[in-house]
Amino acid sequence: MDISHLAYFLGASILLTIAPGPDNVFVVTQGISRGRKAAVLTAIGMCSGISVHTTAAALGISAIFYSSAVAFSVVKFAGAAYLLFLAWKTIREHREIDLHGNGRQLSGFALFKRGFIMNVLNPKVALFFLAFLPQFVSPGSGNVALEMIILGLIFMAQGMIIFITIGLLSGAIGNYFLKKPIVSRIFSWLTAGIFATLGIRLALAQK
């Protein structure tokens, strides 16, 4: 793979990452509702999930989602259910804060896991990498799977930089809002609504 080809891949990856979408919204809502640390850890978890999709695409596993409606639907509904679960948890956690004055803070691992699972349980992401990565692989390289994994790691690295930046910016706003109970309550309900909307959207998604 030559430098110009790699530069083209990196440019396309950056444009796709900064384009408004569910992942950006997910990180922003975490930053506004929980603060900078939560947004960054969630972003790292979400980007780490790319390694699963990249490996699956390289090994041809993602093709199963493309060819099997049942497999696609199972993962799709699992992801939708998880997002709806997050919506419910967001409301419940804020009620605990209202009743007791403080809520159970999520650990760093819990925040990382939240982003990771959200990404992995989205079959449309798997199909995206299955369609996107092969366009930049050299058929005559002799090791297509390895090239796809390397490209996936590059995509993950640039995505992590961009999403962490988004997380830091939204988290700065969130840290300010968290000091204002009324505003914090509004954003908790807004976050729950966004999770629910993303879940419903995923449940209705087609290949």
Within 10 angstroms of residue 199's Cβ, the number of other Cβ atoms is 21
Using CA atoms, how far apart are residues 135 and 14, in angstroms rounded to an integer? 16
- Identify whether the C-beta of residue 114 lies closer than 8 Å to the C-beta of residue 45: yes
- Which of these, 163, 199, 120, 192, lies nearest to 19 by C-alpha position? 163
Give the model confidence (pLDDT) of 102-160 as tens digits: 444 678 898 899 899 988 988 878 888 888 888 888 766 667 788 889 999 999 999 99
Exposed/middle/buried for 102, CB within 10 Å: 0-12, 13-18, 19+? exposed
Using CA atoms, how far apart are residues 45 and 175, in angstroms rounded to an integer? 21
Q: What pLDDT score does 182 carry?
A: 67
Q: What pLDDT score does 122 carry?
A: 84
Q: What pLDDT score does 181 carry?
A: 61
Query: For tokens 């993303």, what's the residue?
Result: 198
Query: For tokens 């978890």, what's the residue?
Result: 45
- Which of these, 103, 81, 80, lies nearest to 188 by C-alpha position? 103
- Identify whether the C-beta of residue 133 lies closer than 8 Å to the C-beta of residue 152: yes
Residues 6 or more apart whose CB falls under 8 angstroms from that of 197 comprise none
Give the model confidence (pLDDT) of 12-52 as tens digits: 999 888 877 778 888 888 887 778 888 899 999 999 999 99
Most distant pair of Cα atoms in the chain: their distance: 64
State the average pLDDT over residues 46-61: 89
Q: What pLDDT score does 103 carry?
A: 45
Mean pLDDT, the chain, whole residue set: 80
- Which range has the worst mean pLDDT, 71-75, 176-180, 193-197? 176-180
Residue 181 three-state SS: helix
Q: What pLDDT score does 98 carry?
A: 44
Using CA atoms, how far apart are residues 82 and 133, in angstroms rounded to an integer? 27
